[in-house]
Structure 1
Amino acid sequence: MAFRYNGSLCSCNPGRYMVNGSCAMLDARGDWVISPGGSRSPAFLTTFLPFDTFKSFTQSQAVILEATLVFLIAWLGFCLALRFSRVDGGVQSLWFRLRWWISRIDFFYNTHHWLDDNKVVIMRKTELGGTFSVASCILFVGLLSALLYQIITKRSIEIHGVRPATAADISFVNDLEFNITVISDMSCSNLRGLDSLVIGTPGFIGSKNVSLSTYVNHQCQNTSIGPTISLKCNSCQILRREYYISWQFVDLPMNPASAVGFQFKLTAKNPADSKHVSYASGTINSCTFSNDKPKTFRGQDVNVLKIHLFPRTYYNLENLKLIQPLFHDFIPGTSFSDINNLQASLQQVKDGLFNITVYVNYLSDYIVEINKENALGIVTFLADVGGLYVFSLAIFLLFLVQFEGTIKKLRSEDTAMRNIIRQNHAKRNWDKVRKYVMYTWGANISAIDDNNSKRCRRMMIDSCSGIQALHRKKQPIRITCIPVAIPEEASQHLKALRSTLEENENAMGPGAEVGF
């Protein structure tokens, strides 16, 4: 992507410049940025933390809604997979405990499950209700986050008004800075003529030529993409005039004066308020204002960059007076899009320069006044939150009714787990009673007469707890034995034992098998 000139010298094709030993094309698309006015200047931590990455990642509500959808699908998928696990292992099984605790968090739909018309409405927690309760919470939190994001970003409306400027508005004093990088193979050694400032239109009465250093601090710095010209003016009180700043780059041996574009940034800041700044930045090449072929700028015709400055008063920022810079237009000078023409120009002494003029126009006849009005009140916010809450509950209540109405098994899905829990409680109580009888009364009862006491004791145990007692619910117990001398205290404990066994029998339900 290069050609030879003057026998042994080399130059890049039109529209390209040398970067690390190769000819690169300048792409100016998507590089234009203008502040909305009154933007905060970069904080100290932005030099260390990637806040721009976080901001771009959360720049719309779509990201929040997509994250909500992912969490919602993950939760429903987890509950669906857990549904196919077995609970035969009882309370000792991990899957049973997970399904049981999911059913316990049914705090939204425990009175809305499917019920027959002839049954009383009761509060019944189920695994399906717990699943949808958590799902409704996830949906509500996601929608609430999106609402808060919208309120934070668009909680107020910015109102602009325009009024004619008066003599008192001359108090606009700002710190201005203009950095422009000439994208090329040149360096600051090619720079010439950056020493004068023209106030007013050249050639007309009232225009004057003054030294640039009287008003502006200027310097040149070499960068990897070309020389950067920096113009700074601290506490500038700009008059209602037009300003022209001109300079040029000239040919040096082995380093011709040519460029493919500009990269600029204009910044304005009030000296009394360093937190807010107005700026405009962008990149200019031959295709910025037209769909023409890539070009290389070189020759005697001047390249003009037009800049407009607008005074603004921000009443919402304690009457901050700030100048808004805008890049208005670019008038290209002599340029070449054909390799042969550029090759001929590089071999001519008269084309050995590159002229630049910055034209600044202070549009102070009118002043833009900016204020903000709140677009959302507390009542509207509460109404929005209530609507999201009702929507989150209603959509999963509809799913719950549809599932339980279509799949009848889901109407009593919690019965198996409740029976397992109930039987586990009964078994624990039975184990306590059995151990109490064995360790407390076993020795005393065994000391009674051998034949009669053993026969009577065996029948008492069989009738009170025995293996078949719980299978014959509410049947009279008949004990036939020879009277023996049993301590009064033991008799009272045996009566308490009988009542405990009956309670366990009722709790475990028919068909349960327990025993010593």
Structure 2
Amino acid sequence: MASLPSPPCPSNSFFYNNSLCACSPGYLYNSTAKTCELFQVSGDSWVVDSGVDYSLSFPETIFSFDSIKRFTQSQAVFLEATVVLLLSWLAFCCFVRFRKLRDGRNIWFQIRWWISRLDICFSTRHWLDDQKVVVKRKTELGGTFSIASLILFIGLFAALLYQIISKSKVEVHNVRATNAPDLASFTNDMEFNITTVSTMSCSHLRDIGTLVVGNPGFIDYRVAPLSTFANYSCLNTTEGPTMIFKCDNCQLIRDSVYISWQFGDLPNDPATAVGFQFNLSAKNHIGKKHLSFVGGMLKNGSNRDDKPITYRGAVPNILKFNLFPRIYKNLHDLKLIQPMFHEFLPGSSYSNTSQLQASLESSNNGLINITLYVNFLSAYVAEIDNQNILGPGELFSDHVD
């Protein structure tokens, strides 16, 4: 958090170095309101899509894509289409009804005549007197409502049929051992976004650019430049500095991967944070149509109580993720990596105001260590397919009962 304006300090803050102010543990400074506000996670703190989604480039603030997705993937699309067609037909008939007939030879008279011929439910004797001039309006209304009834019947039947078919299938997951050719065939575009929730900026960033592969102390341990795995950058956001790691057509490393970085103190601008936000996604490289992702907000350690805390110190904050390969047989053998959040190991933090004050007045703990741990579960692959659970005869009998 940046040092607050000179005294008097706002509420929920304290003095340090005799002349500077800082927010209490767990509080974040709001520069607009000029107050220290408690950092809270509202609603669900986790967003996980363990299946297949469609990547969309339009801002979510303009369109609610979750609602659109639910709408287009259910029988509601048939019901909505039925309502649209029904209202369109009734509006068309109403429009034609009030057009002038003139001498009875214009297009509007012909349309109204054909509408009357479509009466198959209410007054059907006109089929016997087809050559006579239409003089009864009830045959015209009959044609209107006959077609409206037919549209309604077809729409409801289609919605029912969709529900029967969709419920007759289940998604089956089969896990099998993998080999090198299987893993080499996974070509995904991956992106890792880790935001340190704070008032810091990217100017606090220190010590990044190294990739550690394997387990320290074992024979498979090695160090490589981070650029060999992904392109990385830092972006200043309203939530805090966001580290972005992008890998196009990733050559997946079949081992554990560690990426570490630090945020250090600046003059009168100490390195502190109140939480972490993450968003990991994998996208099909060829079509770039399907997307799997996991996202969420980390406010506190999973083994702690819910005390407001501020992260600061040398002990690293470790965010652990697993990457699981999946083959979607029901989508033309689509091969997609599923990122999954595994665990958060909190690092140095303070819940006591006096301890945080002492840390801010000392340069020994003037940093925040963050480690991104990624484990590629390369031993197994999940194959996903649809399987019918009803036979041809049971398909309708089950719903008739």
TM-score clears 0.5 = yes
| Distance in 1 of aligned mates of 2:29 and 2:67 | 34
Mapped contact 2:282–2:292 kept (Cα < 8 A)? yes
1:213 and 1:60 mapped to 2: Cα distance? Answer: 40
The equivalent residue for 2:307 is 293
Q: Kindly report which structure 2 residues correspond to 1:345-384, keeping only aligned pairs within 5 A, or say none.
A: 345-375=359-389, 382-383=396-397
**Where do 1:174-189 residues align within 5 Å?**
174-189=188-203
Task: Confirm or deny: 8 A CA contact 1:300 1:353 kept in the other structure.
Answer: yes
Which residue matches 1:51? 64
Give distance in 2, aligned partners of 1:274 and 1:380.
39
SS of match in other structure, 1:344: helix
The 5 Å alignment of 1:419-498 reads none
Where does residue 178 of structure 2 map in the other structure?
165
Within 5 Å, give how 1:87-102 maps onto structure 2: none
Q: Structure 1 unaligned runs (5+)?
A: 65-106, 109-136, 389-516
Would the aligned equivalents of 1:287 and 1:293 in 2 still touch at CA under 8 Å? no
**Which amino acid is 1:302 matched to?**
P
For 1:5, the equivalent position in structure 2 comes to: 15
Q: CA contact under 8 A between 1:257 and 1:354: conserved in structure 2?
A: yes
- After TM superposition, the structure 1 = structure 2 runs for residues 306-317 of structure 1, keeping only pairs within 5 Å, are 306-317=320-331
1:32: Cα distance to partner?
0.8
Distance of 1:47 and 1:27 partners within structure 2: 20
Aligned to 1:23: 36
Letter in 2 for 1:166: N
Measured after TM superposition, the shift of residue 321 of structure 1 is 1.4
Q: 1:222 to 1:361 in 2, by over 3 A?
A: same
Q: C-alpha separation between the residues in 2 aligned to 1:143 and 1:149?
A: 10
**Deviation of 1:168 (Å):** 1.9
**Which residue does 1:88 correspond to in 2?**
none
Q: Give the equivalent residue in structure 1 for 2:89.
A: none
Other structure's SS at 2:182 match? helix
Q: Tell me how far apart the structure 2 counterparts of residues 245 and 180 of structure 1 sit (CA, whole Å).
A: 11
* Among candidates 244, 250, 253, match of residue 230 of structure 1: 244
Which whole-Å deviations, capped at 9, do the CAs of 1:316-359 have from their partners, x for residues lacking one?
A: 11111111111100000011111121111111111110000111
Q: Distance in 2 between matches of 1:299 and 1:30?
A: 29
1:14 is matched with 25
Q: CA deviation at 1:145?
A: 8.7
Kindly report the root-mean-square deviation, in angstroms, between the aligned alpha carbons of the 2 structures.
3.8
Unaligned ranges ≥5, structure 2: 1-10, 78-120, 123-149
Work out whether residues 168 and 395 of structure 2, in 8 Å CA contact, stay in contact via their aligned partners in 1: no
User: 1-side partners of 2:242 and 2:46: how far apart?
Assistant: 18
Q: Secondary structure at 1:178's aligned position in 2?
A: strand
Residue 174 of structure 1: how far off its partner (Å): 1.5
| TM-score, with structure 1 as normaliser | 0.55
CA contact (8 A) 1:16 1:26 kept: no
Does residue 1:324 correspond to 2:335, yes or no?
A: no
CA distance in 1, matches of 2:341, 2:53: 18
Go from structure 1 to structure 2 and tell me whether the alpha carbon gap of 1:57 and 1:216 turns closer, same or farther (over 3 Å shift).
closer
Higher relative contact order (CA 8 A, sep 6+): 2
User: Is the 8 Å Cα contact of residues 28 and 285 (structure 1) preserved in structure 2?
Assistant: no
Letter in 2 for 1:236: C
Contact 1:176 1:268 (C-alpha < 8 Å) held by counterparts: yes
Identity over the aligned pairs, expressed in percent? 46
Which amino acid counterpart does residue 3 of structure 1 have in structure 2? S
8 Å contact kept, 2:45–2:297: yes
Q: What does the per-residue CA deviation read over 1:244-287, in whole Å, with 9 as the maximum and x for residues that have no partner?
A: 10000001122211111111111111211311111111111115
- Return the match for 1:201 from 202, 210, 215: 215
TM-score, normalised to structure 2, is 0.70
Counterpart amino acid of 1:235? Answer: N
Letter of the 1:339 partner, please give it: T
Once the two structures are overlaid, the 10-residue window that deviates more, 2-11 or 180-189, is 2-11
Q: Give the superposition deviation at 1:167.
A: 2.6
